[in-house]
Structure 1
């Protein structure tokens, strides 16, 4: 129930040709407090309820609990969510034995592309593809829960 991940900005769209699969994600937050976010997500044809805890000092490690729920339940819960739904396409890119999840955002977050990699430990090494830019792991502005309340388009 612990998630260890690093997050990066994406500098170009070269990842698309390396993408093995992609799917649409729509998600909202029942609670966007960083200490305990509660997320409702529709990912492709499945629904999920996820609870995440506050990250450690590096921002890489935090508690995560997720349960699959029906699409009907997810759609109903999305109606109860805070203002600001996240809409994105997630691309799976396998690179040098690691999976990068690259999110291309739409709507009020259009123009933002972020890649995440889940690791077994904070010290695990991995190779970075040429389309990976600056690391933003510890920058809470790039958390989806923050983006739902403070969209990327409003930053400029």
Structure 2
């Protein structure tokens, strides 16, 4: 079993763009967005991925995650079966010390929402918080991608 430990923050400025080492275009949908098990299909540039996530722990930092690379064609076919609410976004990768922040700039109905995530080795691991990091939203379910696919940012 693979456990994902991450913290999630809103982003206060676009300063991260100047130090990002990579930018990807991501399109994703959900075959199942039940709170007990999320099944996501994602296209990241020319690669496809199928991901299954379990429920989060009480703090919202830790949950089971399994991911398998699939072809872009397979992912495109699976996207056609997804629940309503396909998400599109740009993901920027920013290295700060020993960690990588993934900053998602959402597009479409979620335009204006920018969220940063950092994966950790333990829930109490220390990490540097850059000046562009805003309010922490770890465990707030309305910021989960599976939820913003159903209730987009522009309807909040």
TM-score computed with the length of structure 1 as normaliser: 0.98
* Alpha-carbon distance in structure 1 between the residues aligned to 2:54 and 2:19: 32
The CA deviation at 1:84 is 0.3
Counterpart of 2:135 in structure 1 is: 134
Counterpart of 2:77 in structure 1 is: 76
* Alpha-carbon distance in structure 2 between the residues aligned to 1:97 and 1:2: 19
The CA deviation at 1:128 is 0.2
Counterpart of 1:123 in structure 2 is: 124
1:100 to 2:104 alignment: no
Aligned length: 155
Q: Secondary structure at the match of 2:49?
A: strand
Q: Secondary structure at the match of 2:18?
A: helix
Deviations 1:24-78 (A, max 9, x none): 0000000011110000000111000000000000000000000000111000000
1:87 to 2:88 alignment: yes
- Gap runs ≥5 in structure 2: none
Q: How does 1:1-156 map to 2 (within 5 A)?
A: 1-155=2-156
- Gap runs ≥5 in structure 1: none
The CA deviation at 1:130 is 0.2
* Alpha-carbon distance in structure 2 between the residues aligned to 1:2 and 1:98: 17
Deviations 1:108-155 (A, max 9, x none): 000000000000000100010000000001100000000000000000
Say what the alpha-carbon RMSD is for the aligned residues.
0.5
* Alpha-carbon distance in structure 1 between the residues aligned to 2:55 and 2:7: 15
Q: Secondary structure at the match of 1:149?
A: coil
Q: Secondary structure at the match of 1:87?
A: strand
The CA deviation at 1:96 is 2.0
* Alpha-carbon distance in structure 2 between the residues aligned to 1:50 and 1:37: 8
Shift >3 Å, 4+ stretches: none
